[in-house]
Amino acid sequence: MNKGLRVITFEGVTKRYPDGTVAVDNLSLDVPDGSVTVFVGPSGCGKTTSLRMINRMIDATEGRIRLDGRDVKEIEPATLRRGIGYVIQQAGLFPHRRIVDNVATVPYLLGWDKKKARARAMELLERVGLDVKLAERYPFQLSGGQQQRVGVARALAADPPVLLMDEPFSAVDPIVRMSLQDELLRLQSELHKTIVFVTHDIDEAIKLGDRVAVMRVGGRLAQLSDPATLLRDPADDFVREFLGRDRGIRRLSFIPARSVRLSPPPADLVVEDGRPVGWQSGDGLQPYGSFDPETDSLRAALDAMLLSPNGLAVAVDGHGKVLGVAARDALDAALPGAADG
């Protein structure tokens, strides 16, 4: 696919059920090639319905969804779905199939021979961060996080250009969820799939999305923008309220920390071989918070400051060696517009 091609296009799409309920109302947007577009919003806003209309698990009542310019209603549903990866909550694995055969499901349907399909499955298990020794196990023998990784591997097995992900990480604990999000970002940096991702979690949407589509109850699009613009300039009160009162803190994630002015470390910062160990106090060493000005954001610098007992964030380089410290006034000065104040 050519970069810049609008792979998925919604054109005035509405889904109305026989009882008159409107799940999606006149939705028009483009999903660019190689990007992650996240649908986010409260329950009943039509985000999952929108996703499922792409692979025709649900058909639109009005309007069109185009895939590479072709109306999806012109494509036989089974053919359409074999060309689109699909990941759901709880992974949706076949309980009586070994993991390797779960991953190879679509290649088998496409007529691949068993050796080739299984080789592809083993390659993908490694790619999503799983030990290939798990290949001969059954789903019930894996943790929830491992099952979700298998679900991602299965969706990627036939190398589809489009990946649909319906709240895939919502059923796992927060630590595993963060790990799965990081894994998805790593995979996307390598594979450049066109991903439509559904979540009710605004933090997940902002972390994963190149663009975020905020939906309001009744299935109408409230705002579509990149995460930084969304946080800086919400379209209306509904979006502002959905983003929450801490959207200013979230904005810091998009501001690099490299402009933070550093001061020499004070004497009570204990350093060994150039690396921080802790803050010296009468009760012994106290914990410290650190950030890398070259790779981290202002939010990471603020977290580091709050983790230190004296309010000083320790700046370190890529090797963990101390560069200096930053106080609150240095972080304030690094905020956009601070110099104008």
- pLDDT digit string, tens, across residues 78-90: 989 988 999 988 7
Answer yes or no: is 173 within a domain: yes
Answer yes or no: is 87 within a domain: yes
216: which 2 tokens? 């309001």
Pair 249, 327 in one domain: no
CB atoms inside a 10 Å sphere around CB 126? 12
pLDDT of 338: 55
Phi, psi of 259 (to 5 degrees): -90, 0
245 — pLDDT class (breaks 50, 70, 90): confident
Pair 261, 230 in one domain: no
Answer yes or no: is 1 within a domain: no
Answer yes or no: is 298 within a domain: yes
pLDDT of 246: 83
pLDDT of 30: 94
CATH of the domain at 81: 3.40.50.300
Cβ within 8 Å of residue 332, ≥6 positions away: 338
Average pLDDT, the chain: 91
The CA distance from 95 to 102, in Å, is 9
Pair 123, 213 in one domain: yes
For range 269-273, the mean pLDDT: 95
Indicate whether 128 pLDDT > 80: yes
Q: Please identify, among 224, 253, 282, the residue that sits at the C-terminal boundary of a domain.
A: 253
pLDDT one-digit tens code per residue, 22-52: 999 999 999 999 999 999 999 989 999 999 9
Answer yes or no: is 274 within a domain: yes
pLDDT one-digit tens code per residue, 157-183: 989 999 999 999 987 888 888 999 999
Per the structure, the complete domain to which residue 282 belongs is given by 257-340
Question: Which one is predicted more confidently, 339 or 312?
Answer: 312
Indicate whether 229 pLDDT > 50: yes
Q: Please identify, among 211, 235, 253, the residue that sits at the C-terminal boundary of a domain.
A: 253
Pair 13, 160 in one domain: yes
Answer yes or no: is 145 within a domain: yes
When mean pLDDT is compared across 168-172, 212-216, 270-274, the lowest value belongs to: 168-172
The CA distance from 294 to 301, in Å, is 11
Question: Which one is predicted more confidently, 6 or 111?
Answer: 111
Are 321 and 275 a contacting pair, CB within 8 Å? yes
Q: Please identify, among 235, 253, 271, the residue that sits at the C-terminal boundary of a domain.
A: 253
Indicate whether 266 pLDDT > 60: yes
Pair 293, 198 in one domain: no
pLDDT of 2: 42
For range 98-106, the mean pLDDT: 94
337 — pLDDT class (breaks 50, 70, 90): low
Indicate whether 247 pLDDT > 60: yes
Pair 299, 194 in one domain: no
Pair 243, 281 in one domain: no
For range 255-278, the mean pLDDT: 94
Indicate whether 339 pLDDT > 90: no
4 — pLDDT class (breaks 50, 70, 90): very low
pLDDT of 250: 85
Are 51 and 5 a contacting pair, CB within 8 Å? no
Closest CA relative to residue 28, chosen from 38, 13, 40: 13
- CA geometry: angle 220, 235, 246, nearest 5 deg: 110
Q: Tell me the whole-structure pTM to 2 decimals.
A: 0.82
Pair 202, 229 in one domain: yes
3 — pLDDT class (breaks 50, 70, 90): very low
For range 297-318, the mean pLDDT: 94
The CA distance from 254 to 250, in Å, is 8
Number of separate domains in the chain? 2
Pair 209, 303 in one domain: no
Indicate whether 94 pLDDT > 80: yes
Answer yes or no: is 129 within a domain: yes
Q: To the nearest whole percent, how much of the chain has pLDDT over 70?
A: 97
Task: Indicate the SS3 state at residue 194.
Answer: strand
Pair 334, 193 in one domain: no
Pair 329, 304 in one domain: yes
Pair 134, 199 in one domain: yes
Are 240 and 222 a contacting pair, CB within 8 Å? no
Are 41 and 204 a contacting pair, CB within 8 Å? no
Phi, psi of 18 (to 5 degrees): -55, -30
Answer yes or no: is 29 within a domain: yes
The CA distance from 57 to 325, in Å, is 54
